[in-house]
Structure 1
């Protein structure tokens, strides 16, 4: 009698739960927008897609777990797609591909968030080796997927066929669709429409109203730049999380270790995590006892410079080869040694005139070791709003740092020559400054710029002729004793800087070392000693 009573009580609760779930299941409409297309769905196709939507909601517990995972990673997916100019709607494809499981592996050995095979991953600039597998990084893999989809859309001229090409390849999509959808802005989905697109529509319909609605927590994914080599154990102490936690959210790092270079580390934090720009503004009261400060500097906000540009991603082990890395989301390469532009252009398979034009290189400018150069046209605006000019910077170096055309940088700030630049100037990188508007100037640490030196790798060391300083000026650090250090096996920039009592930033600046901190055995590094 007691067991029958419990059963009778349980049945209404079960029925109520089922009815609640059914009430939450979205219904497939007869028309829906996708990317830049209007998609009309026939009644038969509606019923077919609805079965897939229902299946996604069938297990409420599993759906809620996946929903939290979607909301954890989706802000990053949306951001990276937006950077590449890929429609926001394509974000639902990553749910379909992997359920946002970083180390998901398919039966065909496709790996990671966006299910790349190794060959395809390397084609879109992802690093896959025994130290790093960027297919398991949400940032790198999304950027790779965006490049892949954008390339296919350029060839097919239709986002629906480009999406299906993600499953069958560009050649397969061309053979399957031909040109019937090229340029079309309205399509009909019926029983003959490719199953992969109908499966995608089911995921879009199932999740489009769930993004931002957390099922069980308000956790957010934190992103921090870390410098390797370093262990997860050391990073765990730094960020107040467990080592297992970092390994779980950073499966891109093989064996739980961060190799040499700069990488993005992920870990979970509670509450909202605002995206940090490259220039952080904080209101600061004017310093009353510094009469020498300009009026502009006193009345403007204080600016804190962040050193996150240029942003490098891709297969950095082959950074000197074309189609391996991106620089500020543009195709680029890193110079392996100092040479003439004509020789470097020849090495990367590009005409010298085009290479110079893409990088705004003057006729007498050489390609410098460690510097990054673009192999596609730079942008007219940068990703961030402003840049604080540092001592020794030029308009050209700033334009390269952010991937903005030199002419655009000059135009936005109404500056034509480097002689007009002053340390502390706050340059606009997005908006054009109004005519007659004064450029803000803020205090910066005035570190004298060291002399530009050719860093030899195997040739005899060549020192530049020291510049003659006016006798009425004090001696600066760039007149200090110049010595050279030869890089040995196993040495790092940090170890070398400790040996000579200098900072890593000084060492990098004196030797034109890029943000990837690449040095080679036998390389001669300039050291300035007072």
Structure 2
């Protein structure tokens, strides 16, 4: 055989091999190219040539294996409508949705080397900060809805410090303290940022995911499937729900890894399963579902009233509150004591060890269980659902911690107070943020009128409301100028307070905003600017 023929065969083999590698890529969309400028959130991002080459390498890597990219894209199209819904609900720009792809590839039970878990890769402590439940029954880090809501809250909180979504996004990886040290305040409020070789790698990696996936959503999918969310009321189990929704129990286990043992405790939860759709199916905008109406046979009620009297928030089968796995207390599993007894006997009744029951409820060794009181069977949280609590006569640190489901140690640490003898009626205790060192605890005057106003806010009249003493800082001075502020999308009370140089509590007081800090887009707020 001549050398020329041998060389020709080698070229043919080489060409064939190249085609085998290239053809699958050609069946996909062409690999997108990194632009010199793009929009991100409410900002303009300008990328210099060196950074563009760096980001392009990551984009190319995402497209390198067409089969792998297609599998990932299928997951993206399955879960992304719910990610978008939850980010939008908390006021986070939808561009940040690509971060979930970067973090986990939308794998529910993904675990990092640092033991971060779930869709958005939360560590347990951080998950609890954004009110995700993580225990031996439920891990909401593996629930696409609750984890996306938690990620949105986390990102939004960090953006309040920077007013810059690039810095907020990087702080997701570094932590708020690390990001503040890294960025300082030089980018605060900037709407145009330049990205170069010295820019943080995490944001450049994010841009690669945004560029790779933003034009591919809802196309190139290998199946016609959609993810269905239904609200279920516990206690129940996946076996029962599989029959109800006519899917296999194994399928429910695969799609609901947030429940580790197939059992769902008392409370409301989002359950997911996949259904096949017709070829002409067009995805609709996913809206938040209303809470399901309780079944009459379960007699489910919520015992809640005004801002303070809304706690503890008891939900579930309240007619069987003295039995385990029937109610939640502030969204945590709990039970009501039917009679006064010892901790040992009560622990036997609810089916947990005495030592654990004491630890969960911060009970000393010489304390007993009191009839009618509520006790937790799940670990309390480091923060409450509301910001502050006004101490009432006769309350103790323990009773306040039980009222809101906050750890007793956290309550003490946040307020730098250790003993019940240091409590005074009218003290405004922090339930979420730590009080600054040396900062005095404010005290407001309380009276019976205030208690009635809190219990029945809808029946209060202007006259009794004036009898309630408020902190001097909440009362506008004669020199204050009255302004009207219209709430814009994504704004928070904190951001508005910083804009006008007032406090969140002042805005809440002037506009009669409840303890949940709920404001809506377009709402008119009265501001007394000093």
Q: Please report the TM-score for the alignment, with normalisation by the length of structure 1.
A: 0.56
Deviations 1:109-138 (A, max 9, x none): 000000000001001100001110000000
Deviations 1:346-397 (A, max 9, x none): 7969977799689945459xxxxxxxxxxxxxx999xxxxxxxxxxxxxxxx
1:149 to 133, 145, 155: 155
Structure 1 position 32 matched with structure 2 position 38 = yes
Q: Is residue 127–residue 134 contact of structure 1 (8 Å, CA) maintained in 2?
A: yes
Q: 1:64 to 1:356 in 2, by over 3 A?
A: farther
Task: For structure 1, list consecutive stretches of 5 or more residues without a partner in the other structure.
Answer: 280-304, 327-332, 365-378, 382-398, 410-530
Deviations 1:217-249 (A, max 9, x none): 121110011111212111111111111100011
Distance 1:189 1:324 in 2: 39
1:108 to 98, 114, 119: 114
Q: Aligned-pair distance for 1:323? A: 4.0
Q: Is residue 50–residue 197 contact of structure 2 (8 Å, CA) maintained in 1?
A: yes
Aligned length: 340
Structure 1 position 131 matched with structure 2 position 137 = yes
Report the counterpart of residue 254 of structure 2 in structure 1: 248
2:196 to 190, 204, 213: 190
Structure 1 position 52 matched with structure 2 position 96 = no
Distance 1:110 1:234 in 2: 31
Q: Is residue 321–residue 348 contact of structure 1 (8 Å, CA) maintained in 2?
A: no
Distance 2:181 2:15 in 1: 59
Q: Is residue 81–residue 88 contact of structure 1 (8 Å, CA) maintained in 2?
A: yes
Deviations 1:396-450 (A, max 9, x none): xxx99x99789x99xxxxxxxxxxxxxxxxxxxxxxxxxxxxxxxxxxxxxxxxx
Q: Aligned ranges for residues 307-456 of structure 1 at < 5 Å?
A: 307=293, 316-317=332-333, 323-325=383-385, 360=457, 362-363=459-460
Structure 1 position 68 matched with structure 2 position 68 = no
Report the counterpart of residue 80 of structure 1 in structure 2: 86
Q: Aligned-pair distance for 1:316? A: 3.4
Q: Is residue 229–residue 260 contact of structure 1 (8 Å, CA) maintained in 2?
A: yes
The DSSP-based 3-state class of the residue aligned with 2:114 is: coil
Q: Aligned-pair distance for 1:214? A: 4.4
1:170 to 167, 176, 185: 176
Task: For structure 2, list consecutive stretches of 5 or more residues without a partner in the other structure.
Answer: 295-300, 303-312, 316-327, 334-375, 387-400, 406-424, 433-441, 462-485, 489-512, 524-530
Distance 2:160 2:455 in 1: 21
Q: 1:246 to 1:189 in 2, by over 3 A?
A: same
Q: 1:131 to 1:43 in 2, by over 3 A?
A: same
Q: Aligned-pair distance for 1:336? A: 7.5
- RMSD over aligned CA atoms reads 4.4
Structure 1 position 206 matched with structure 2 position 212 = yes
Runs of 4+ residues deviating >2 angstroms? 4-13, 271-279, 305-326, 333-337, 342-364, 402-406
Q: Is residue 384–residue 404 contact of structure 2 (8 Å, CA) maintained in 1?
A: no
Q: Please report the TM-score for the alignment, with normalisation by the length of structure 2.
A: 0.56
Distance 1:270 1:185 in 2: 43
Q: Aligned-pair distance for 1:11? A: 3.6
